Amino acid sequence: MLRESLKEYQKISNQVDLANVCAQYRQVRFYEGVVELSLTAAEKKDPQGLGLHFYKNGEPEEDAVGLQAFQERLNSYKCITDTLQELVNQSKAAPQSPSVPKKPGPPVLSSDPNMLSNEEAGHHFEQMLKLAQRSTDELFSIALYNWLIQVDLADKLLQVTAPFLEPYLVRMTKIDQNKVRYMDLLWRYFEKNRNFSNAARILAKLSDLHSTEISLQQRLEYIARAILSAKSSTAISSIAADGEFLHELEEKMDVARIQLQIQETLQRQYSHHSSVQDAISQLDAELMDITKVVRNFSVLKIIIVMELIYVVLESKYPILFFPPDFLVQFLEQQVCALNWDVGFVTYTMQEIGVPLPRLLEVYDQLFKARDPYWNRMKKPLHLLECIHVLLSGYVQDPSRVLMRYWVIAVCAHLCFTLASVWF
C-alpha cells in the first residue's frame, strides 16, 4: 500500500506538498519513500539539470533561472536531510523514563509511543543513508556531503563509494575557507582507496599550509603520515618522481623537527617574554626553512640561533641545513652588538662541524664585502680578529686539518686581500 502511494505521488511530485507527505511517511517509518519521492520531485522540478550547472559554474548571481532551479532542488533534498537529522537526534536521545506518578498504579511512559529507541533510530539512519548514497543525482550527493560535514559525521562521508565524492572534496579544498577540514578528508579518502601517492601529496600540502588552525606538532604528524603513504606508494610503484618526493619529505621532516625543538625551547625557557608568545604562534603558523626562521625574528634571533647550534650538537643533524655564510655573518654581528668575546663564533661553528678551510673562506668573503656595519659598531677590525683566532688555533694544532695545503692557500689569499685593502 505504501509503495502504491509512492508511485502515485511520484507522478505528481512537483505539485504535492512534499514536506507534508514526507512527514506522513516518517510517521509510518517508510524512509525509502522519503528518499525516492524527494529525489523524483527534484528531478521533475529541474528536468534540464540547470541547478547542477548553476553550482558547477560558481553560482553566478546573474543566472536567475539557474538559481531558482538550484533552490528548488535543495528544498526537495532538505526533506531527506531533515529526516536523517531526526533519526540522528533520536539515536542520541536519552532513554525513555517513567514520569512522576500523579496517582497510584503502574508507571506510565510520558514519551511519544511512536518514538524510536536509540538502536532502532540508528538502524533506520544507516539504512536510509545507504539508500541515499545509491542516488545518481550529483547535486543531491553534494547536498548530502555538505550535511554530513555540518553535523560532524565526516566519518560516514568516507564510507561513500559514489564517484562524486572525490571531485567534491577537491573543489571544496579550493573554494571553502575551511581548507584544513576538506584537505584532511581528502587525504583520508585517498588513503582509504589505496591512492597513497595522492594521499602523501595532500598531507604534504597540509603541512605547508599557512594557517593558525594547525599546530607545529600537527604539521610534523602530517609529514610523518605523508612519509608512510609515500613509502607505501613506492612499494607498489616504480615511478621515479615518487621516490624523489619521498626524499623531499624526509628532508622536510628533519628541518621541521629542528623548528619544533626551537619552539619547545622558547616555551620552556623564555615564555615569560611577551614577544616570545608571538614567536611561538608564528612557528605554529607555517613550516619554515632555517634561514627564514632566523630572518623573521628580530628580538629573538640570537636565542633561536643558539638553539639551532644546540640542536646540531645534540642531535647531529647534517650541516647542510645551516648555511654557514649567513649564520657566521649574523652571529658575528650579534657578538659585536652584545660585546661578546671574539672567537665565540669561530669556536662554535667548528664545534658543529664546519671545516676550518670553509670558515676561512667565509670570513674572507665577509671581509672583502666591506660591510659598513663594522664601522658603525666602531669595530672595523672585528673580522680580522676572528681570522686571527682561527689561524692561531690552526698553528697550535695543525693536525686538526687534513687539507693543510688548502689552508695555506686560503691564508695566502687573505694576505693578498689585506695588502690590497691597506696598501
Q: What is the pLDDT of residues 3-36, one digit of tens each?
A: 999 999 898 988 899 999 999 999 999 999 999 9
Give helix then strand counts, H and E, for the chain: 22, 0
The Cα–Cα gap between 276 and 264 comes to: 11
Average pLDDT over residues 305-333: 65
Q: Which SS3 state, helix, strand or coil, does residue 109 take?
A: strand
Burial of 186 (0-12, 13-18, 19+ CB in 10 A): buried
Length, in residues, of the chain: 423
Q: Can you give the pLDDT at residue 306?
A: 56
Average pLDDT over residues 347-354: 78
pLDDT at 221 exceeding the cut of 50: yes
* Residue 196 Cα distances to 155, 167, 236, angstroms: 19, 17, 9
Average pLDDT over residues 46-68: 94
Q: Can you give the pLDDT at residue 109?
A: 46
Average pLDDT over residues 53-67: 94
Q: Read off the C-alpha cell for 274.
A: 611577551
Q: Can you give the pLDDT at residue 413?
A: 61
Q: Can you give the pLDDT at residue 403?
A: 57
pLDDT at 235 exceeding the cut of 80: no
pLDDT at 131 exceeding the cut of 60: yes
pLDDT at 340 exceeding the cut of 80: no
pLDDT at 40 exceeding the cut of 60: yes
The Cα–Cα gap between 340 and 119 comes to: 73
pLDDT at 243 exceeding the cut of 50: yes
Average pLDDT over residues 320-333: 78
Give the DSSP letter of residue 98: B
Average pLDDT over residues 272-281: 72
pLDDT at 423 exceeding the cut of 50: no
pLDDT at 140 exceeding the cut of 50: yes
Average pLDDT over residues 142-160: 93
pLDDT at 253 exceeding the cut of 80: yes
The Cα–Cα gap between 399 and 269 comes to: 39
Q: Which SS3 state, helix, strand or coil, does residue 329 take?
A: helix
More confident residue, 68 or 330: 68
Let me know: does 390 contact 346? Beta carbons within 8 Å: yes
More confident residue, 43 or 263: 43
Closest CA to 280 of 314, 304, 312, 302: 304
Q: Can you give the pLDDT at residue 110?
A: 46
More confident residue, 375 or 348: 375
Q: Can you give the pLDDT at residue 300?
A: 52
pLDDT at 331 exceeding the cut of 90: no
Q: Can you give the pLDDT at residue 66?
A: 95
pLDDT at 299 exceeding the cut of 50: no
Confidence band of 393 (pLDDT split at 50, 70, 90)? confident
Give the DSSP letter of residue 381: T
The Cα–Cα gap between 176 and 190 comes to: 19
